[in-house]
Structure 1
């Protein structure tokens, strides 16, 4: 988990460095160092409360980018000109893209994010403050719509930039240039603020979670000692500084474009973390040996196979990707080790306790204890259904419009 978080933290720092160096004119390496120091101060003073605040800011600023700024860039480019990109950049609008990658590669990109978002601690931790199950359900319905809505429209705007200002060599800078040069200054500033809010939100979450994991999950168990809250907080902050130094150095080296690093980090989560999470929640025979075996085998298989393919030492069958191979290895290892070993008494007892705990039961019990609990329960159920149906309808309109305008 820590390795995956480190990889995802690197892309946040690279993104911050690119934005801030473009705006301020300060060199990229120095900007990375300054932003890392600012981030450490933010994490130390704000903690998870600060993360919640930046998350809220991020939502509204990213919505502004998707609903105002990106459409402006698309409007300047024009749908007809954007459709015509396939004439100057062959295969631009195809599934395989301009580089004509096989269908399996595109499928693996979907798989990476499906597997990653199913188990990433940065996302799962957002559920903890929820008041009840209905809040989680409503947020999930809205979030499932907003995630592709905010991303796809920005990607389309990036395609529009190919029309407005073709030939931008550093692809990570495309939207930054669009915000700074091709929209009104106020909206451009809002767009940059949205980028920084999202970077700050994600990066601070990763630092907080990594520090907590190193202090509680690793340090306390490694040395078999229970730390006081004060001592644990101090160790967590030391861990954050340690992680910040590593991430800062890697970000300055900028080993690859942001997207490719995010794919690598996301894949490690997907193949090394998700099988263990699902197995731990749903499989009676799941135990620590199966968890360690699955995480080790899945992650190792992905890194080894991906590097061998990238260096042309190994060739995979068409439509098969290193992520698919590694995920299969991780799941297979989980079952083999699980069937050949037995869970301990503690693991069996915890699984039984977990299965006897029902979040829906807790929610119903909470509503039942109120004077008008049944009426409130029915109201929440109706609201959830209305939100679900409404967003299906909204999604049909939004995606139908873009499909029609781009002629796909």
Structure 2
């Protein structure tokens, strides 16, 4: 546990900096449309998307799970993350940029209605975005609570609320531009911290990656295999697909590509996205050190797997480095949480109040509605986070993958396949949403548990694709002259 005053000064300094940067960046927003939509440079797009993707899953959940299941889960998450970055830029980047220039799209439901001329698609898209954003945001608040509780001894509830207040102060007051700019700073901090963690882990273990792996092999060689008794090949495939293909369906990521200044900047976005994803995927190296040290009884066993990184920082990093690393972990987690509440808030205001209920949200009134919407999302997600159930990796991956199962097929095919129809989109999205929802409810109430290693979200994504294609081919063609040329 770290209780040094220097550590607290650094952490509090970072939190104050986040609030200041966010509010300076978003101080000029005058209406709801600008509050949720801004023109952004390539580095902001790349780093904001990376920040949304890595979240508490990569900084807290994946390292903890690696200590139990081995490096296979680490490699699966890294592979999926890189695949997601590449696919978003190559498959979605140019069509989304051109679509935005023509229609000024703001949200996923907004985009789907424009593509298919089908307002009824909102009835599936809106509840899906709101439910999953709230659950995924709760996962981030849980990560904050776990991190600060383990490292500082601060009560879990107090730690969670502290982190949420900071996120609220820069995201609610500043809006989309604020969260995107802050996310850029946060990911830059996280990248530097990840490189430091690698150096620190190698120093603690003796100085080389080869030597570290040998020591882990002496403890349990199965932990260095892609598959073992705790991790099947099917599960690895699930994680890669959930993270890789699932990225194409994340509203908080997809909507960033509406906002890129010029499509010609996409190569820069791809390069910066790959670099930032590689750097931030290095955190689980800490897991290997923890496996060795716990086996040697130099440190006690972890009370729970998600305490892996916080315990490493508390044990092997000094107060200054510890403060910087805590700030970096918070940066990765907060960037995701902020992006999610902006995404959900924009759906509440733009899709429900403005487009569905036809409420006047012009001028400052729209800003007030937008802030109230985001605060509502925050409160609901905090309530869930204060009563945590399950590990951060499992909850985070499940929410991330469900977004992908529902939205990835219809977004990709809607933009890239002219034969894709509104009927195909409707039944594809509906089937995947219902399938995941029913299985999840059955599992929560312990009525029936999904018995397969292949995650239900991957199955739901496959069902979505098959139905979307079959129904589209069985229904009349739609004019797609407004679509970008691909």
Scaled by the length of structure 1, what TM-score is found? 0.77
The 1-side partners of 2:482 and 2:348 are apart by 27
Indicate which of 250, 254, 261 corresponds to 1:120. Answer: 250
Q: 1:105 aligned to 2:216?
A: no
The one-character-per-residue Cα deviations of 1:38-64 (angstroms, maximum 9, x if unpaired) are 322222222223223322222221122
Runs of 5+ unmatched residues, structure 1: 359-408
The Cα shift of 1:28 comes to 0.8
Any idea what the Cα deviations from partners look like across 1:245-298, whole Å, max 9, x if unmatched?
210011111111111111111111111010110121022243433323212211
Larger radius of gyration: 1
Match of 2:356 in 1: 222
Deviates more, 1:253-262 or 1:34-43: 34-43
The two structures, once aligned, show a CA RMSD in angstroms of 2.6
* Residue of structure 2 in register with 1:393 after alignment: none
Q: 2:223 aligns with which of 73, 92, 97?
A: 92
> How much has 1:68 moved relative to structure 2?
1.5
CA distance in 1, matches of 2:202, 2:393: 22
1:357-396 alignment to 2 at 5 Å? none
Higher relative contact order (CA 8 A, sep 6+): 2
1:163 matched to 2:292: yes
With over 3 angstroms needed to count, the CA separation of the structure-2 counterparts of 1:89 and 1:312, relative to structure 1, is farther
**Secondary structure of residue in 1 paired with 2:386:** helix
Q: Structure 2: where are the runs of 5+ without partners? A: 1-128, 294-298
SS in 2 for 1:91: helix
Given that 1:127 and 1:136 are in contact with CA atoms closer than 8 Å, whether structure 2 keeps it comes out as no
Structure 2 Cα separation of the partners of residues 67 and 212 of structure 1: 35
**Inter-partner Cα distance in structure 1 for 2:360 and 2:418:** 29
**1:109 to partner: Cα distance:** 0.5
1:352 alignment partner in structure 2: 481
Q: CA contact under 8 A between 2:249 and 2:406: conserved in structure 1?
A: no
Q: Secondary structure, in 3 states, of the residue corresponding to 1:352?
A: coil
Equivalent residue for 2:307? 173
Q: Are 2:326 and 1:198 equivalent residues in the alignment?
A: no
Residue 300 to residue 200, structure 1, CA distance change in 2 (3 Å): same
Deviations 1:116-140 (A, max 9, x none): 2223232234435534334221221
Counterpart mapping for 1:6-405 below 5 A: 6-78=134-206, 79=209, 80-89=211-220, 91-97=222-228, 99-151=229-281, 153-164=282-293, 165=299, 167-305=301-439, 313=448, 320-342=454-476, 348=479, 351-356=480-485
CA apart distance, 1:320: 4.2
Q: Following TM superposition, by how much is the alpha carbon of 1:92 offset from its aligned partner in structure 2, in angstroms?
A: 1.1
CA contact (8 A) 1:105 1:321 kept: yes
Shift in Å at residue 193 of structure 1? 0.8
- How many pairs were matched up? 349
The alpha-carbon deviation at position 213 of structure 1 amounts to: 1.0
Secondary structure in 1 matching 2:145: helix
Inter-partner Cα distance in structure 1 for 2:440 and 2:172: 37
Change (3 A) 1:116 1:123: same
Instruction: Classify 1:339/1:232 alpha carbon distance in 2 versus 1 (closer, same or farther; 3 Å).
Output: farther
Q: Could you give the per-residue CA deviations for residues 84-137 of structure 1, whole angstroms, max 9, x where no partner exists?
A: 33443462111124x433211111100011122223232234435534334221
Seen in structure 2, the aligned counterparts of structure 1 residues 326 and 102 have a Cα distance that, compared at 3 Å, is same
Q: 1:342 to 1:216 in 2, by over 3 A?
A: farther
Change (3 A) 1:324 1:121: closer
| Paired residues of 1:275 and 1:331 also in contact (CA < 8 A) | yes
Shift of 1:312: 9.0
Task: Please identify, of 40-49 and 268-277, the stretch whose mean Cα deviation from structure 2 is larger.
Answer: 40-49
Aligned-partner Cα distance in 1 for 2:291–2:139: 23
Deviating more after overlay: 320-329 vs 253-262: 320-329
Name the CA shift for 1:343/1:233 in 2 (closer, same or farther; >3 Å). Answer: farther
Distance, in Å, in 1 between the alignment partners of 2:349 and 2:422 is 20
Identify if the C-alpha distance between structure 1 residues 81 and 40 changes in structure 2 by more than 3 Å, giving closer, same or farther.
closer
User: CA offsets per residue over residues 5-59 of structure 1, 9 Å max, x none?
Assistant: 2222112111111223344433112332333233222222222232233222222
**Maintained 8 Å contact 2:136/2:399:** yes
Check 1:227–1:290 CA distance in 2 against 1; reply closer, same or farther (3 A cut). Answer: farther
Does the CA contact (< 8 Å) of 1:69 and 1:187 recur in 2? no
Distance of 1:258 and 1:36 partners within structure 2: 17
Tell me: CA distance 1:320–1:9, structure 2 relative to 1, closer, same or farther (3 Å): closer
Q: Given that residues 29 and 252 in structure 1 are in contact (C-alpha distance below 8 angstroms), is that contact kept between their aligned partners in structure 2?
A: yes
SS at match of 1:353: coil
C-alpha distance in 2 between matches for 1:299 and 1:123: 19
